[in-house]
């Protein structure tokens, strides 16, 4: 800042330069209005909202399950994490706890998504600095991971894989082997890029000591994720308030110290390695079992047991204890809107059932029809998960009907873009490019 003040003293006239909204050196649409003195940025103003798609308004118009595709398109580089965050928030409203296997699947898919996000972020920002090779390598690795995601979910990008109460379907046969193979390839690519970039003179000179932010400023702006960790604050939602089964894995939270672009790059590179470690441990530990709630050996009501038998799932039924209702079973189901929720009213049936028998089809139909969908009890809940950019929180207000009354997503990169003037003021115009690259601005999440 002192340097900027000095420039201010000697300047003759400052110039306003408009960068964006569609600028070659920026992935994503944002407009930065800079006041320049020669090459130095004196002040700047950031204009966002070019990708405002009314996520929150659209969510209020649709049922709880129909929000899922919208969440895919929030942070479209790591959609599985958004899915998980939304599901966990709704499950918090219900008081549901998903099955062990579903938790492990969620962890594996989230971490794969995190790697794709970091690969894109690092690759794209390296490309903007002229390192096109690294970009090609990293997108190559990302495509290996997309292949895995496609095997599991059926789509490459907008997956809608998570369900309230579990996941859409089980992992396909041979998943473990394919996943380990893809991870080995990814690891190779990360190592190659590490060799290409980390000690590369040009790359280091562009990143070191640019876009610096202090610990206090970062906290004041509410920044989380790799961006905050690069300043030396050890805050990771997976560690601070472990959700799913993150407390069972041995992983490190990489922490930087300077809070500049280079530390953020190193944090992201380290995090990819840690994510791979988490996935490998999860693959070792993952138990067998159902992936949606309801059939995991809990005491089940008698009428459910009949339904199970109708669907031909009779194995193991003999060992279960039926829970008979002395009155007519299920007749009092709707009397306790705030009580324990019947699982059948929370989760969609597996796709095989929907397509192959009438029970599953009816169940599906009842869930999807307007006015018949799932109804969490009244109340409000906030659930944070660790997104690729930082704390991704869903705040959901329920009024007891089939539609969420209010869905709010706490966007992690919104706060970072808000801090962008702090990062670029006083630096030179060219430093905006690496700084903006390390912000990892994702339009869908920023503007929603």
Which residues of the chain form contacts with other proteins (CB under 8 A)? 21-24, 27-29, 48-54, 56-58, 61, 69-70, 73, 76-77, 92-93, 95, 120, 124, 135-136, 139-140, 142-143, 146, 156-158, 217, 219-222, 224, 233, 235, 240-241, 379-382, 384, 391, 393, 395, 397, 399, 405-406, 408, 410, 414-415, 418-419, 443-444, 447-448
Of 7 and 227, which CB lies nearer to other proteins in the complex structure?
Answer: 227
| Minimum CB distance to other proteins smaller for 101 or for 375 | 375
Q: How far is the CB of 444 from other proteins (least distance, A)?
A: 6
Instruction: Judge contact between 206 and 130, C-beta under 8 A.
Output: no
SS3 call for 443: helix
Nearer to other proteins, 54 or 362 (CB): 54
Closer residue to other proteins in complex, CB, 124/171: 124
Alpha helices in 129-213 (DSSP H): 132-153, 175-197, 201-207
Q: What is the 3-state secondary structure (H, E, C) of 325-356?
A: CCCCCCCCHHHCCCCCCCHHHCCCCCHHHHHH
- The least distance separating other proteins from the CB of residue 318, rounded to whole angstroms, comes to 37
Look at strands 379-386 and 31-37 and give their pairing.
unpaired
- As measured in angstroms, the least distance from the Cβ of 55 to other proteins is 9
Q: Choose between 35 and 380: whose C-beta lies nearer to other proteins.
A: 380
Q: How far is the CB of 382 from other proteins (least distance, A)?
A: 6
> To 10 degrees, the CA torsion angle through 25, 26, 30, 34?
-40
Nearest distance, CB of residue 348 and other proteins, angstroms: 19
Give the C-alpha separation, 153 to 36, whole Å: 48
The 8-class DSSP code of residue 288 comes to P
Rounded least distance, CB 403 to other proteins, Å: 10
Residues 6+ apart with CB under 8 A from 105: 167, 170, 171, 286, 291
Using the CB atoms, write b or e for 388-414: b if 16+ within 10 Å: bbbbbbbebbbeeebbbeebbbbbbbb
Is 222 or 289 the residue whose CB approaches other proteins more closely?
A: 222
Token pair recorded at residue 395: 């705040």
Residue 158 Cβ, how far from other proteins at the closest point, in Å? 6
Q: Name which of 110 and 415 has its Cβ closer to other proteins.
A: 415
């Amino acid at each position: 800042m002192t340097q900027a003040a000095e420039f201010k003293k000697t300047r003759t006239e400052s110039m306003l330069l408009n960068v964006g909204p569609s600028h070659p050196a920026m992935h994503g649409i944002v407009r930065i209005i800079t006041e320049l003195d020669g090459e130095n940025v004196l002040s700047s103003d950031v204009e966002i909202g070019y990708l405002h798609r009314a996520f929150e308004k659209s969510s209020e118009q649709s049922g709880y399950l129909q929000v899922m595709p919208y969440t895919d398109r929030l942070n479209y580089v790591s959609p599985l994490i958004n899915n998980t965050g939304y599901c966990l928030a709704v499950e918090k409203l219900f008081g549901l706890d998903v099955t062990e296997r579903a938790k492990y699947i969620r962890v594996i898919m989230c971490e794969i998504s995190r790697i794709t996000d970091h690969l894109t972020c690092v690759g794209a920002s390296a490309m903007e600095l002229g390192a096109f090779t690294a970009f090609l390598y990293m997108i190559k690795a990302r495509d290996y991971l997309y292949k895995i995601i496609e095997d599991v979910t059926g789509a490459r990008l907008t997956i809608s894989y998570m369900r309230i109460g579990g996941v859409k379907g089980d992992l396909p046969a041979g998943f473990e082997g394919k996943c380990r193979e893809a991870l080995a390839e990814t690891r190779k690519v990360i190592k190659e890029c590490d060799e290409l970039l980390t000690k590369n003179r040009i790359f280091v000179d562009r990143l070191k000591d640019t876009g610096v932010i202090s610990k206090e400023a970062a906290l004041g702006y509410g920044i989380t994720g790799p961006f905050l960790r690069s300043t030396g604050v050890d805050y990771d939602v997976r560690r601070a308030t472990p959700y799913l089964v993150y407390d069972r894995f041995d992983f490190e939270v990489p922490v930087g110290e300077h809070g500049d672009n280079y530390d953020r790059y190193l944090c992201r590179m380290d995090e990819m390695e840690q994510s791979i470690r988490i996935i490998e441990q999860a693959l070792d530990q993952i138990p067998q079992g159902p992936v949606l709630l309801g059939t995991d050996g809990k005491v089940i009501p008698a009428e459910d047991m009949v339904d199970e038998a109708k669907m031909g799932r009779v194995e193991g039924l003999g060992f279960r204890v039926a829970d008979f209702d002395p009155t007519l079973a299920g007749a009092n189901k709707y009397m306790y809107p705030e009580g324990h929720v019947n699982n059948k009213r929370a989760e969609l049936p597996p796709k095989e059932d929907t397509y192959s028998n009438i029970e599953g089809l009816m169940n599906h139909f009842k869930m999807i029809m307007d006015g018949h969908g799932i109804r969490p009890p009244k109340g409000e809940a906030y659930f944070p998960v660790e997104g690729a950019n930082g704390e991704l929180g869903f705040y959901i207000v329920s009024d007891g009907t089939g539609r969420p009354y209010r869905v709010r997503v706490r966007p992690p990169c919104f706060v970072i873009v808000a801090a962008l003037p702090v990062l670029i003021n006083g630096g030179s115009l060219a430093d905006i490019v690496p700084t903006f690259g390390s912000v990892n601005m994702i339009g869908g999440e920023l503007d929603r």
